[in-house]
Structure 1
Amino acid sequence: MVPFKIGHFSVGSVEDPVFIIAEIGQNHQGCIETAKKLIKAAKKVGCNCVKFQKSCLSDKFTKSALDRSYSGKNSFGNTYGEHKAFLEFSLKQHILLKQYCKNLDIFFSVSAMDEVSLEEIVSLKLPFIKIGSGDANNFKLLEKAAQLRTPVIISTGMQTMATIKTIIQIMEKSNKTNFALMHCISSYPTKPEDCKLLTIQLLQNKFPNVLIGYSGHEVSPYISESAILLGAKIIERHLTLDKMQKGSDHSCSLTPMEFESLVKTIRSYEHAKMLQIPKSTRFIINHFNDDENVRKSLEKICGRKILNCEQACRKKLGKSLVTAKVIFKGEMLTQDKLNVKVSQPLGVVAERLWDCVGQFVNKDLSKDTPLQCNDIIGFV
């Protein structure tokens, strides 16, 4: 793998400590004071970084997705748009939180959930920018992220190995080496049997120059502890003050006490030099690759595909191709005529962007319409 710097922190080489991220996300409940309490808790338990999320709702979602009724137990509004707006911090609020982190001497970072937000958070001069699983197939966003000097960390939940290979190609095309992939399963919470930790080593084997980490959603810290023994150099877990709070992420988050246990275990492994184990265990996978039948069996067990447990999340938050402007019957699709958004109904999946470019539509399409296969002449 190619080590790189996250701020002053070197990550990736054998002697480098694991970089530990406390994902606060939207567990702050829309409250700055709660966000500060979470930051303080992350610092106290020894995390290297806290991470939030930034969305431009109109760029991330279609109008129909925002307008749909949303009245479940985790709702903060009558519509999904009202719910998301309640939980969204402004850029000015992110600046305040970044300063608070600086005062506590802990890194502050943000996930860019759409192209507009990516452009906004670049001004924050972050140690790295995160691209979440929901945008790992958003190739337009990834192309922009690849142009940045800032390190980029990309989660791979809900994605296939083919999409992961495309992510690598996008980064390589821009000669970007300061990026990492995070093995991730987008199921909240993730059952132990669905965590597929051997995928960490499979990714290391397939992409030996790429730094691999783990973003976990299981209910306890123990599986994440095991991930570093398989070679994960970055660990990301959600942090909550109370697992019973309203919000879908709290159940798969760690309490400060659980997070402290995770950090202490990781640092103990480092002191015991146990993180050199992947050198030998990776040999096993390399050896398996010499046997075609064994290699196929290994890929069947831990190869990346969209799991059944991820289908609910993909249906709710997976990105589709959406018209960026009015398109008339017979018109050719170009990249500037397509956006990538969470849509209702779902459309052509985002990773098929380049399959659609150059094709022709067979009817008039209004702006912000999820593109369907039968809207495109001869498209399957």
Structure 2
Amino acid sequence: MWSSPAVVKIGNRLVGDGEPVFVIAEIGINHNGSLEIAKKLIDGACLAGCDAVKFQKRTPEKCVPRDQWHIERDTPWGRMTYIEYRHRVEFGEREYAEIDRYCKERGILWFASCWDEESVEVMERFDPPCYKAASAALTDHALLRAMKATGRPLILSTGMSTMEEIEAAVAAVGQGRLLIAHATSAYPCAPEQLNLRMIPTLKARYPRCPIGYSGHETGLAPSGAAVALGATFVERHITLDRAMWGTDQSASVEIVGLVKLCANLRDIERSLGDGIKRVYENELAQRKKLARVRPSEGAKVAAEANGAHAD
């Protein structure tokens, strides 16, 4: 699988410095166990121009503490135990086979955050382009190694983690084919807790790894700021309606907002440039009209600013 320092190939896309921002629409469990909702969310991600959609995969008996299995709760589907509820909103192999078919039909990549090793085995049947380790899994080195052992790229999310825990996780799996996402695990997250300057901190600490941003804020502007600070990929939770049932819905972006977000991210990445000062061709008329310089000097100045020489 092709990779080079700070650039990793995910599916048919290169992700990293100098490449277009890789935009991931996190569906997670916002489908509430409905394939119909999942397909509508995939459609929304395609409409917005996202590069990939991401789901979450759990084996409920492995991920829910046994002392919580039989606690009853009210749900939109009636009163049920917590373990029953987790099964109700969890997609199995049949549903993911249909998601795989539908994403291929729509021409969008899909993958999942796996919360246990058994879920990695399930996802391997669909040949995913990469894996994502949720922030809650960052200290589960056995699970990280299981995902990395597939040979696929791994995106490591770093919410609710110390720098020492991040370093230990990176050491556990190595920096090859590794992408690191800055995150704060608050849902939704207040702007003062986003700490976006961690993005250049991580880029300096791990120059071989593409660094990105997994956001849980309610607005769109911080995700654009993340790109301006050097994020090479952006992940945001998406929903059909922020008022829907589910713990992640309120920190998600509705489809109209997702369309706007993707357009903003593309504008931002195009506007960043390369940091080399130059005079552009369409500035010359204004320079000739307004600047305190002889008109004949305009072409010479533009040529020199662009690295050429005027005779």
- Corresponding position of 2:226: 227
Runs of 5+ in structure 2 lacking a partner?
Answer: 276-311
- Corresponding position of 1:57: 60
Offset from partner CA, 1:196-239 (integer Å, 9 cap, x none): 10011111111221211100000011111110011111100011
**8 Å contact kept, 2:61–2:83:** no
Offset from partner CA, 1:77-115 (integer Å, 9 cap, x none): 532212211100001211110110110111111110111
Q: Which of residues 5, 9, 16 in structure 2 aligns to 1:12?
A: 16
- Corresponding position of 1:243: 242
- Corresponding position of 2:42: 39
Q: Does 1:205 align with 2:214?
A: no
Counterparts of 1:101 and 1:66 in 2: how far apart (Å)? Answer: 33
Q: Which of residues 148, 168, 171 in structure 1 aligns to 2:170?
A: 168
Closer/same/farther in 2, CA of residues 275 and 7 from structure 1, 3 Å limit: farther
Q: Does 1:129 align with 2:115?
A: no
Offset from partner CA, 1:17-47 (integer Å, 9 cap, x none): 0000000011112110111011001100111
Q: Does 1:28 align with 2:27?
A: no
Counterparts of 1:98 and 1:223 in 2: how far apart (Å)? Answer: 31
Offset from partner CA, 1:121-156 (integer Å, 9 cap, x none): 112101111111111111110122222211111111
Counterparts of 2:15 and 2:154 in 1: how far apart (Å)? Answer: 13
Counterparts of 2:200 and 2:160 in 1: how far apart (Å)? Answer: 18
Counterparts of 2:273 and 2:80 in 1: how far apart (Å)? Answer: 48
Closer/same/farther in 2, CA of residues 18 and 74 from structure 1, 3 Å limit: farther
**8 Å contact kept, 1:76–1:83:** no
3-state SS, counterpart of residue 158 of structure 1: coil
Counterparts of 2:123 and 2:212 in 1: how far apart (Å)? Answer: 23
Measure how far apart 1:275 and its partner are. 6.2
TM-score by length of 2: 0.83
Counterparts of 1:123 and 1:250 in 2: how far apart (Å)? Answer: 29
- Corresponding position of 2:192: 193
Measure how far apart 1:65 and its partner are. 2.5
3-state SS, counterpart of residue 69 of structure 2: helix
**8 Å contact kept, 1:156–1:184:** yes
Counterparts of 1:37 and 1:267 in 2: how far apart (Å)? Answer: 23
Measure how far apart 1:74 and its partner are. 7.8
Q: Does 1:141 align with 2:143?
A: yes
Measure how far apart 1:13 and its partner are. 2.7
Q: Does 1:48 align with 2:47?
A: no
Q: Runs of at least 4 residues of structure 1 off by over 3 A?
A: 73-77
3-state SS, counterpart of residue 259 of structure 1: helix
3-state SS, counterpart of residue 20 of structure 1: strand
Offset from partner CA, 1:246-288 (integer Å, 9 cap, x none): 111111100111111110011112222x1656xxxxxxxxxxx
Measure how far apart 1:76 and its partner are. 6.7
3-state SS, counterpart of residue 80 of structure 2: coil
**2:223 maps to amino acid:** S
Counterparts of 2:133 and 2:213 in 1: how far apart (Å)? Answer: 14
Q: How many residues align?
A: 271
- Corresponding position of 2:80: 78
3-state SS, counterpart of residue 108 of structure 1: strand
TM-score by length of 1: 0.69
Closer/same/farther in 2, CA of residues 77 and 128 from structure 1, 3 Å limit: farther
**8 Å contact kept, 2:10–2:129:** yes
Offset from partner CA, 1:158-210 (integer Å, 9 cap, x none): 111111001111122xxx51111111111000000010100111111112212
- Corresponding position of 2:71: 68
3-state SS, counterpart of residue 47 of structure 1: coil
Offset from partner CA, 1:350-370 (integer Å, 9 cap, x none): xxxxxxxxxxxxxxxxxxxxx
- Corresponding position of 1:95: 97
Closer/same/farther in 2, CA of residues 78 and 267 from structure 1, 3 Å limit: same
- Corresponding position of 1:269: 268
Counterparts of 1:65 and 1:275 in 2: how far apart (Å)? Answer: 52
3-state SS, counterpart of residue 92 of structure 1: helix
